Every structure is written in structure tokens, then in C-alpha cells.
Chains A and B, each alone.
Chain A
């Protein structure tokens, strides 16, 4: 009677390692609403999206017919313009990510390892500050700056530089601007975690600043860069506002979805188009997982 009772006593339970502890009923009760929210609002919606993409629309009435069909996906793969738009969107998202990584790394490096603690705090705030302003305001501000007689044309005139005008370059610039904080912050956090002794060890073993950066800092910051790229890449992939405001006539996947939801009122096709970024992101995340980036989010 004594021995089994002892192992089941509350004391024995408290001595269990943390990870082995089973959640009590109270914990379950507390977790249920947020887990439901995650399940229904996020995964449920994604499931609904996918199911909708397998339905079709009646061409005459515009009503949705709940008949299982792969027609939407067949259209996506066979009609050239959609393929072009898909690759263009992925290319823009990749370009935005590269531009952001190139801009963010030196900034994050300065913040994490050079700036005084006071300046460090100020810089973190100034990186976050643009996120407080409305997306639309920022996009329209860029529209103004990129216009024919805008700030960029005026500033560049003495150097023979003209505004790129509205189009894909402008879209890339604006997206890179919008998502830059999402790249800076993970890299900053990653670099801050890097012990100073690793830099010193590299210098001690004969590595100059450049060698240390290339052989120690960059490889170690790589997962953090990938973590930031998950944000910049996925946000660019789904964006449809920036391209409408500064993209001129260029189309990205987001526009196609938007137009099919709005003007064309073809929800099943819009859903099919919307699955493309989801699939691309799933592949991207699977690749990112191998670098250990997901532990850096």
C-alpha cells in the first residue's frame, strides 16, 4: 500500500521534470479558447480556402456551384499569363527579401555590437516607429515621391537620375521599405545573442574584421536572416496594395486574387490563385526549417 501511494503523491508529481508534467484541467480550460481561435480562424479558414478553390462558378449567373472540380487549377497552369504572374510575384518577393537582407544586416550589426546601450534602445524604437504609421499612408507617400515631379526626380536631377516611375522597380522599392523592420529585428536579436568571445576568438586566431564577419558572424547570423526572410518573403508574396498604388499596370498574384474577388466575383478562382502563395510558403518554410531559422523567430 505504501510504495505506489508514495509515487503518486503530489510531492512526487512536483518533482517531475517540467517537460514531463501533464497539464491539469485548469490549464486545458485556459488553453481552449486561444487554441480554438488558432484552429478555427487560422487553419479552418485555410481549409475553407482550399475547398472553395475546388468549386466552380456558373459563368452566366455568377453563382458558386459546389461541384468538385480541378478546373481552376488547370486554368492556372495552362493559361500563360498566370504562370508569368506567379513567377513575377516570386521573383519580386525574392528581390525584396535580398534587398532587405542587404540593408538590414549592417544596420542590425551596428545596433547589436557597436551602438551604446542608450543608442541601441533609440535605434530599436526608430526601427519600430514606421510600423506605427498606416500602411496606406506610407504607400501613398511613396507614390508621391516616385511621381514624375516628385522628391526622387527632384533630388536625382542634378545627378542625372530620374524616378523609376510606377512599375515593378517602384513596387520592389516600396515593399522593401515596408518590410525592412521585419528583417532588422530578427537579425538584431540573433546578433545580440552572439557572445562577444566568439568575435574575440576569431580575432585572437588571426582573423581580421572582414574574415571574422565572413567566417563566423555571417554563418552564425544566417538562421536569423532566414527567419527575417520568412516575413519579408511571405508579406511580399501576398501583397496587393503596394503594387496597385505604385506598380502601374503590373500585376502580381495579390491583384489577381483581388480582381477575382471584386470585379470578376469569381471566388473559387480567387481561392485557387490564393493557394499558390500558401504552397510556395510551405515549401519555403520546409527549406527554412533545415537552417534552424524557425528557432530564431
Chain B
């Protein structure tokens, strides 16, 4: 338990250091004199003088050696002083908070949909191993996992927005805007997770303790609820940890495709606009969210499986 906590805390620190270092290098590798650039941002391009640039330089410590600046940069990062975006001038922290909420909504709904698809389908096909539904889902899943998530989203747009006109193409505002991006992500997630549910359930059904519980005379529902469900859930929840990567990458891609105002959209736009404070804020928050979610999965696995609590 304590080990989980320290490992993930170390990872969070490594994320902050990695993102901070990369963006620092990015900042230093931009062309031109940084003091002049910041002065131009503050006073307008027509009002930049050598004196203004010098005052900026001393104020921000830009005349100090690179190593000192590097540690200042990391210090700012650790105290969450993320600066202002270069595009609109708004504080990065506010922008990121705003975007994180939208992303969390999309991720949560997508995850919910994917569980709604994968869990019943996986369990049902495990009871009918080799049946037509089992072979059918296996085939569909193998096709679906060969499509990058943005292609799934694109096909849904073509089908349900442009041809059938059931849902808006892109944007944000009503529940209808949420359906297509969430569905695209849910399909991509469920393509793999439904098979994991299937295999995990099938293994439980074949096991000695399950067969014994049936022989005791328990009926199908009781034996699955009492002996099947919890055992079958442990690998499934652990797999959700592996799928977190798919979830976050899917968020980045689908938000860009659907113009969903979330953090992935923010990151892609910031990179396109070379808006370094924003890149740093978005990547940092995304990395930290990834670590926190991983820690949560660890905790759920820990509480689901009493065997892991012995050590």
C-alpha cells in the first residue's frame, strides 16, 4: 500500500522534471533574443527599445547562466507558477483548469460507454465460447483495433453527421456534441477490453473452484455473483490501467478532430502555435492526471484482491 504511494509519487516528480526540462530546452532553442521577444509581448512591437529589453532581462534573470535559469524554471514549475499563454495572454493555470474539466467529462462518458459495451458482451460470449456472437465480436474487434482512433472518429462523422445528420460535426455545447467523440473513443477501448473481459471470464468459468460451486448446487446467477464476478474483475481492472494510455491518446486525437475544448486540443494547438508555457501546462497536467489515474487503478486492484494485501 505504502509502496504504491511512493512509487507513484516518484513518477509524478519525474513527470514534472521531464516536462519541465523538455520545455526549457524548447524555450532556449527558439530563435532570437528572449528579452526582446518578451519586451515586444509586453509593450508592443513598436515600443521595444534596448533599455526596455535590458530591464526585462534583469527583472526575469535572463542574464544569469543557463544552469541558474534552468533551476528557476523548475522552481516555478514546482510551485505551479506556469506563466501566461503567448497567444491570448491569459494565465496558463486557468486555461488548463478549464480544459481539464471538459476532457474529464469526455473521458468519463467514453469510459462509461466502453464498459457498457465490453462488460455484458465479454461475459455473455464467455458463457457461449465459440458461438456465433463470440466469433462475430472477435472479428469486429480485430478490425476495429486496426483503425487508429481518429479514423474511427472520422468514419462516425462521415456516417452520423454528414450523411444521416443526426449529430453535429464538431464543437461543444449540448449533449449531442458529446455523443460522437465519446462513442468513437468507447468503441476503440471496447474493441480490446471486451476480449479481455471474455478471456478473464472464460478462465474463471473453467476453474476448479467455479466447477465445484456449480456442483454444490448453486444456480447460475448465484454462483457467478458469488464466485465469478470478483475473480474475473481483477485482471479486467488491471487491464484498465494498460488502457489508460489508449484513453489519453484517444482524448488528444479526438478533441482535435471534434474541436472539443479540452486539454488534448489545447496541447495540439499550443504545439502548432509554439506557445511554450501552454505546452508545458497541458503536458504537465496530462502527465500528472495519468499518474493519479494509475494510482487509483492500483488502489482498486489492491482492494479487489485480498491476496495482494497480505504482503
A binds B: no
User: Which B residues contact A (CB, under 8 angstroms)?
Assistant: none
